[in-house]
Structure 1
Amino acid sequence: MLMQFKIHKQASMLMWMLFMLMAPLSIYMLLINKTTLIEWVLFNISTTPIMMTIIIDPVGTLFSSAVLLISANVLQFSTSYMKDDKFIDRFTVLVLLFVLSMNLLIFLPHLMMLLLGWDGLGLVSFILVIYYQNPKSLAAGMITALTNRIGDVMLLLSIAWTLNQGHWNIIHMWETGMFTWQSAAILLAAMTKSAQMPFSSWLPAAMAAPTPVSALVHSSTLVTAGVFLLIRFYPFLSSTTWFNQLLLLIAVSTTTMAGLSAMTECDMKKIIALSTLSQLGMMMAAMGLGMVSLAYFHMITHALFKALLFICAGTLIHSHMHSQDLRWMGNMTTQMPTTTSCFMLANMSLCGAPFMSGFYSKDMIVESSIFYQHNSIMLIIILFTVSLTSFYTMRFSLTTIWGPSNCGPFMHLEESLQLITPMLILSSMSIISGSALIWMMPMNQEPMTMLTSMKIMPMIMVILGLLTAWYMSTQRIKLAPMMMLIPMTHYASCLMWFLVPLSSQFTMKVPMYISHNYLKSLDQSWLETLGGQGMTSSSFMASNSMMKMFNTGPVNFLMMSSILMLMTLTLL
């Protein structure tokens, strides 16, 4: 008897094969720095051709390689994490569909064809978020889907407004009468997908998905789709006068909100999700400051170390009976040495420790924002958010790695090969990818002559954040009354500046109230009386009363049938 084909065992190998094909192509494209367009006409609407366009350029091929590398490791990790799941094959197919949608988004620069990847991402991410099929994941899935629908509608509107150009190719856009509206629609679409303010609440909610989904979807692919769209559209969008300033304001407010919220969060996955939100804000801020190459560079390096961080967190969650609470963990150093090492490498890269991959991209963004003349308030907030990142990272590490163990005595902590291999591969990428890409990427970064104080300012802020977190954790009792003086700040931080109740409960309360009243007054009252159910019950009552009035005999039955038939014919 032939063994049943198990797709979850072969999926990781498939991704590795595709990565081996894509990696040499991306290196070649980076070295020659040329863009190739392949177009063929599907059909014509009067004189407007609807074309299938494929773009092969350094930006797309490198990002696709990163996506394939991360998905290969995540699928290998999921074979251990999801091994008790009956429907692991279905889960694997959904993840593969997600990777396909992401690659469609990368390689199709045609606005109409782009919808295939864009809508595919939204639909598959919704199915993956509700994967556990409980009320919490369904609520999270609905917030995710409805928020992303706003972006989908905006993209459809931009397609309609691009009609007067006679084509939908992203690269060949020019200014028309609807130019401002197009820019606003594309910006809104990118903001919803990348969870910028005020659409931020769906990203931490989407952590209801399984951890492999969070590692792939909510760290490196889905959330960076909005940033990638803006990078593709940037030459067209940046000619709008208000675009850069508005993008910078939104990005800085997002990264500050995410950093402050991560300081008070106790759910491990939500802290990493808020950290992703903070880094997305940093990418958007870089783009708002006109540094597109640096934003793209940070997007690639961030994808690699954030996937590693999620896999390490997933290993800890898996060992603690799927509990995500930080306060239940501790003393990982002695029990899980490989996980601890990779976890610290990912955290160092996130903070921007020297010579890690995050350092090359993040430090360069902060240095460039200091060097070029920009709004000083924005610069101060960006530096403040750098210290916030190191603050919540230190708090996270102190609780899980160096703190005392708070879990039960019968926890079985193990590191299997399926868990260790992806961690080691991604941690090596977290170390070398930054320095490798800075040599290979075709960036026109001009030399910056800076004072020593300006140069070391990002590192000073990182060290300041680390020391503050260390002090506050060790002197917790002394600082607790200071924190409780303004309780509203604590609630605002826990609820992401009240974005969670404002964007979900507040918006759903009135429609829910109206629909509930509609159900009670129409569906369960008047429509039941006047509809089929009411007519049936009234005819039953009439026939029963007539049967009671007369003697039950065959003649009476015939008489009643003929009367009812005559009544029906009269009504008709």
Structure 2
Amino acid sequence: MNWITPTIILTIFMSLTLSIFQPHHAKKNLMLLFLISLIPINSLLNNNELTLSLMPLITMPTENINISFTLDTLSTLFTPIALFITWSIIEFSTWYMTTDPNNHKFTKYLLMFLITMLVIITANNMYQLFIGWEGVGIMSFLLIGWWYGRQDANTAALQAIIYNRIGDIGLIMATAWLMTSSSINMQELMTQHETINIVPMMGLLAAATGKSAQFSLHPWLPSAMEGPTPVSALLHSSTMVVAGVFLLIRLHPMMHNNTTIMTLCLLLGATTTVFAAAAATTHSDIKKIIALSTTSQLGLMMTMVGLNQPTLAFLHMITHSFFKATLFLCSGSYIHNLNNEQDIRMMGGLSKTMPMTSSFMTIANFSLMGMPFLSGFYSKDTIIETLMNSHTNSWVMLITMIATILSACYSTKIMLTTMTGYPRTHHNTHNETKDIVNPLIRLVLASILMGALMKASTLQITTMTTMPKSIKLMALIATMAGIMLSKDTFYMTLHLSPKKLNKQSLMFNQMAFFNVPHRTITMITLKISQKMSTELMDLWTMENWGPKGLSNTLTHTIHLSTQQKNMVKNYMTVFTSSMILILIISLI
């Protein structure tokens, strides 16, 4: 088995690279690679680890940098998931992007996105991880700005790359620190976890905040919805946004003894969860609601990392990947059907015209809420139980429960608004062909079964504490409360006359997060720069050191060398008076 696994991982990378040159074969190749990647799971699941290293590329006095793959529980489990989801999304995009003249190029970009994510997953040193990290950032920039003729798409792509660069500063700092003081090899880092300084840990937290769109660096994620729907599905399920949390899970042994970092993770995660869930309830764009729901779920994963439960965070990451990909693809099917209409208030009655998509959407939403025996239940329920049974601050518990209620709220809102009632816009009804239905069936089956499969594996370790029935049922109670609240609100507001949406009401414009960094700060910076260039440079520098300064400097020298004071009247008076005096003397 020792030689089979490295062969498999190299086969996967080689085949993916070849698929880029033959995008029309990508779907079949990905299906084959997914089946191949299932082989090493059995031998490597029980915390065994296999490392595959090549010759050093760069030799340094303290560090040898080489290409090195690691296959442990995290990478062997997540590789087939990434392949499976990309396979489904690429099959869906053959239908979704069929009218696009560059659809082969689009497939190549998606495959490149997958390869860079696999580099992150299997990297055995910080240097290699950084290559994958940057690759994911570049590909997200290209894919979000795919329709580059639209101003919004360009702005969103720039937003994604700039916010990520802010986070990347942290990763670069952490890598540089580790390279000088410890090691950039994963195994060596794990063994030296007692001695590592807080600075690289803060860097890793900053990197995860940027990439996984945690509170303060989150505005790029809703904006990223300007890209095509298959991009949103891939970006939000198994690539890009989970890379930040994946980094923290992978390097968790390095951080778990440091209470400061763990508390920061906990507070950051809890704040993100409740804030994004609250923002999602105020939106009416279907893709933005689902995007903010991703931010909320990532906050939940971050909370688990902060609670010293990285395995639970990873479990939620896996289950979330499937139902989030399903949600996005279903929304893409709706949007295409309604002539690119994304406002849920303009949808309605879709359960009649698109029954299969609506069924899949309902199952995925229930999974997101944590309905019993769907995959989301196995991770979300366990997370809430663990939180309730832990010695942590009650504020985090309270707002995580509020976030659970809100997540049930916006999920129910999507279902009631889009599927029930009567159509509110002109339908361009298409048949739900196999290109749409097949990937969705696969993803929905995974959304139903994956939780139970993971429960059978070593990933889910439920809390062994005996607990009161109220705490055991807490997650379910919160979910039911959210559903009832959303249903009542929907039926109360259904008969009201439609109002024009007030832009400021979108969770205070996402709590002023759009206006402050993108408008106020930029305008202040621009004005300060303008004043510095005009007033400081021209008026102060030029006057003090330019012509005026030169003349002021020369005046003293002139006064020293001559009695002339540059006063013409005085000169003329002295000259005339002296001439008259000479004339008088000469005449006498």
Q: TM class by shorter-chain length? A: 0.7 to 0.9
2:124 — aligned with what?
Answer: 109
Task: Please give the per-residue CA displacement for 1:226-270, whole angstroms capped at 9, x wherever unaligned.
Answer: 000000111101222301111111111111111111111010100
Q: 1:50 to 1:220 in 2, by over 3 A?
A: closer
Displacement after TM superposition at 1:506 (Å): 2.8
Counterparts of 1:8 and 1:268, CA distance in 2: 30
Counterparts of 2:373 and 2:62, CA distance in 1: 55
Counterparts of 1:518 and 1:164, CA distance in 2: 39
Q: Which of 410-419 and 346-355 deviates more?
A: 410-419
Displacement after TM superposition at 1:125 (Å): 0.3
Q: Does 1:465 pair with 2:482? A: yes
Displacement after TM superposition at 1:29 (Å): 1.7
Displacement after TM superposition at 1:342 (Å): 0.5
1:25 — aligned with what?
Answer: 40
Please show how residues 280-359 of structure 1 align to structure 2 within 5 Å.
280-359=298-377
Counterparts of 1:440 and 1:507, CA distance in 2: 49
Task: Please give the per-residue CA displacement for 1:424-446, whole angstroms capped at 9, x wherever unaligned.
Answer: 00000000000001111345545
Task: Please give the per-residue CA displacement for 1:333-376, whole angstroms capped at 9, x wherever unaligned.
Answer: 11111101101000000000000000000010001111222212
Please show how residues 246-285 of structure 1 align to structure 2 within 5 Å.
246-285=264-303
Q: After the TM superposition, which segments of 4 or more aligned residues of structure 1 sit over 6 Å from their partners? A: 477-481, 514-521
Opposite residue 66 of structure 2, the aligned amino acid is M
Counterparts of 1:492 and 1:342, CA distance in 2: 28
Opposite residue 116 of structure 2, the aligned amino acid is S
State the secondary structure of the residue aligned to 1:28.
helix
State the secondary structure of the residue aligned to 1:316.
helix
Q: Which of 58, 76, 79 is the matching residue for 1:64? A: 79
Opposite residue 67 of structure 2, the aligned amino acid is M
Opposite residue 295 of structure 1, the aligned amino acid is A
Please show how residues 531-550 of structure 1 align to structure 2 within 5 Å.
none
Q: Which of 112, 119, 133 is the matching residue for 2:134? A: 119
Q: Does 1:141 pair with 2:165? A: no
2:178 — aligned with what?
Answer: 162
Q: Which of 84, 91, 94 is the matching residue for 1:79? A: 94
Q: 1:89 to 1:68 in 2, by over 3 A?
A: same
Opposite residue 170 of structure 2, the aligned amino acid is M
The TM-score normalised by the length of structure 2 is 0.83
Q: 1:111 to 1:229 in 2, by over 3 A?
A: same
Q: Which of 427, 433, 444 is the matching residue for 2:444? A: 427
Displacement after TM superposition at 1:477 (Å): 7.1
Counterparts of 1:477 and 1:84, CA distance in 2: 37
Displacement after TM superposition at 1:160 (Å): 1.3
Relative contact order (alpha carbons < 8 A, sep ≥ 6): 1 or 2 greater? 1
Q: Unaligned regions of 5+ residues in structure 2, if any?
A: 1-19, 536-588
Opposite residue 49 of structure 1, the aligned amino acid is N
1:551 — aligned with what?
Answer: none
Task: Please give the per-residue CA displacement for 1:475-508, whole angstroms capped at 9, x wherever unaligned.
Answer: 1279999x99xx99x6361522111222322332
2:258 — aligned with what?
Answer: 240
Kept in 2, the 8 Å contact 1:8–1:88? The answer is: no
State the secondary structure of the residue aligned to 2:156.
helix
Please show how residues 506-545 of structure 1 align to structure 2 within 5 Å.
506-513=520-527
Counterparts of 1:292 and 1:304, CA distance in 2: 19
Counterparts of 1:138 and 1:19, CA distance in 2: 34
Counterparts of 1:125 and 1:436, CA distance in 2: 31
Opposite residue 515 of structure 2, the aligned amino acid is P
Question: Of the two, which has the highest radius of gyration?
Answer: 2
Q: Which of 384, 393, 403 is the matching residue for 1:375? A: 393
Opposite residue 309 of structure 1, the aligned amino acid is L
Q: Which of 431, 449, 456 is the matching residue for 2:466? A: 449
Q: 1:183 to 1:495 in 2, by over 3 A?
A: same
Kept in 2, the 8 Å contact 1:48–1:166? The answer is: no
Q: Which of 498, 501, 519 is the matching residue for 1:505? A: 519
Identity %: 33
Counterparts of 1:150 and 1:267, CA distance in 2: 27
2:560 — aligned with what?
Answer: none
Kept in 2, the 8 Å contact 1:269–1:310? The answer is: yes
Aligned residue pairs total 511
Counterparts of 1:505 and 1:27, CA distance in 2: 53
State the secondary structure of the residue aligned to 2:157.
helix
Displacement after TM superposition at 1:514 (Å): 6.2
RMSD: 2.4
Q: Which of 468, 472, 491 is the matching residue for 2:505? A: 491
Counterparts of 2:28 and 2:81, CA distance in 1: 16
Q: 1:164 to 1:259 in 2, by over 3 A?
A: same
Displacement after TM superposition at 1:102 (Å): 0.2
Counterparts of 2:318 and 2:445, CA distance in 1: 14
Counterparts of 1:331 and 1:224, CA distance in 2: 34
Q: 1:335 to 1:478 in 2, by over 3 A?
A: closer
Opposite residue 29 of structure 1, the aligned amino acid is L
Kept in 1, the 8 Å contact 2:382–2:462? The answer is: no
Kept in 1, the 8 Å contact 2:316–2:380? The answer is: yes
Counterparts of 2:468 and 2:455, CA distance in 1: 23
Q: Which of 226, 242, 248 is the matching residue for 1:230? A: 248
Q: Does 1:42 pair with 2:44? A: no
State the secondary structure of the residue aligned to 1:448.
coil
Counterparts of 1:402 and 1:492, CA distance in 2: 24
Counterparts of 1:494 and 1:357, CA distance in 2: 33
Displacement after TM superposition at 1:170 (Å): 2.6
Task: Please give the per-residue CA displacement for 1:8-63, whole angstroms capped at 9, x wherever unaligned.
Answer: 43211111111111112224322x43011223433421243223221011111111
Q: Unaligned regions of 5+ residues in structure 1, if any?
A: 522-572
2:70 — aligned with what?
Answer: 55
